[in-house]
Amino acid sequence: MAASQAIIETPATDRVTDRRRVHVLRTVPYRPRPKTLPPPSGGSPRDRLLALAGSDSERTPPRVVRAAPEEAADELIRYLKDQGYLG
């Protein structure tokens, strides 16, 4: 409590006038430019759209697993290992 009323001596020079002013231009986070990618291959607009959407590639169909929490966790870990997310 005594510290809140203590007098702190400062040098005679005023430090506030010695500081240079900083001008803030904007306050948004840094966002890098997007990478330039090659255009999709294909002659028609439909072929290019299918290439962009990735619908022409092979994939495993989604699956619904109904199991107890322990079995579901094991199945999830097995899936992540199969997809290469876990070593």
The pLDDT of residue 13: 57
Are 48 and 38 in contact by the 8 Å Cβ rule? The answer is no
Task: Indicate the DSSP class of residue 72.
Answer: H
The pLDDT of residue 52: 85
Intra-chain end-to-end CA distance of the chain, in Å: 58
The pLDDT of residue 78: 94
Query: Does residue 71 register a pLDDT over 60?
Result: yes
The pLDDT of residue 14: 53
Query: Does residue 85 register a pLDDT over 80?
Result: yes
pLDDT band at residue 34 under the 50/70/90 scheme: very high
Dihedral sign for Cα atoms in the order 41, 46, 49, 55: negative
Are 47 and 39 in contact by the 8 Å Cβ rule? The answer is no
Are 1 and 9 in contact by the 8 Å Cβ rule? The answer is no
Length of the chain: 87
